[in-house]
């Protein structure tokens, strides 16, 4: 399943990048996140509760943030399992300075899903993924403001 999109944040690119790399912000903004634990080397062990079209469950796995090029881009890899299935994916995040203190975050990636969640089909999965991405970035934008006020 391919997923792509963008989100414009009202914050400078450097602050957006720092927030997107922050464990605290990630933990607070990943939909259904119960655990996001740093295990070193840009790798995080995760537990998420999620559901799409009546298929609900707990996802356990790992997320790795690789190849950071501050404040421009990084790669995100994920792998994990849930009752009766498995997911593996890779995504690329790029940040574009739009001027005037605004940043466009572009994301694109590909995920392979097996099990009950795969049976839901790409027709339902893509809109659900896009909705979750928008929730995530909206939350992260609110964290940028908090980090700016604190910093």
What does the alpha-carbon distance between residue 139 and residue 37 come to, in Å, rounded to a whole number? 19
- Which pTM value belongs to this model? 0.87
User: What is the 8-class DSSP label of residue 1?
Assistant: -
Domains in the chain, number: 1
User: Which CATH number is 138's domain given?
Assistant: 3.30.530.20
Query: pLDDT by residue (tens digit) across 30-69?
Result: 988 999 999 999 999 999 987 666 667 898 999 999 999 9
Query: pLDDT by residue (tens digit) across 81-125?
Result: 988 788 899 999 999 999 999 999 999 999 898 887 677 666 677
Instruction: State both tokens at 29.
Output: 């903004």
Domain membership of residue 98 as a residue range = 2-150
Can you list the alpha helix ranges (DSSP code H) found in the chain?
13-20, 23-29, 116-120, 122-150
């Amino acid at each position: 399943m391919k997923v792509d999109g963008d989100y414009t944040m009202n914050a400078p690119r450097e602050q957006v990048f720092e927030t997107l790399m922050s464990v605290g912000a990630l933990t607070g903004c990943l939909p259904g996140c119960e655990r996001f634990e740093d295990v070193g080397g840009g790798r995080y062990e995760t537990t998420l509760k999620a559901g799409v079209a009546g298929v609900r469950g707990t996802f356990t796995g790992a997320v790795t943030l690789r190849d950071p090029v501050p404040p421009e881009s990084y790669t995100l890899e994920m792998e994990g399992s849930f009752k009766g299935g498995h997911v593996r994916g890779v995504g690329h995040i790029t940040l574009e300075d739009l001027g005037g203190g605004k940043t466009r975050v572009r994301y694109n990636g590909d995920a392979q899903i097996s099990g009950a969640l795969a049976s839901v089909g790409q027709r339902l999965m893509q809109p659900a993924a896009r909705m979750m991405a928008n929730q995530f970035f909206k939350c992260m934008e609110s964290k940028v403001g908090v980090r700016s006020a604190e910093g």
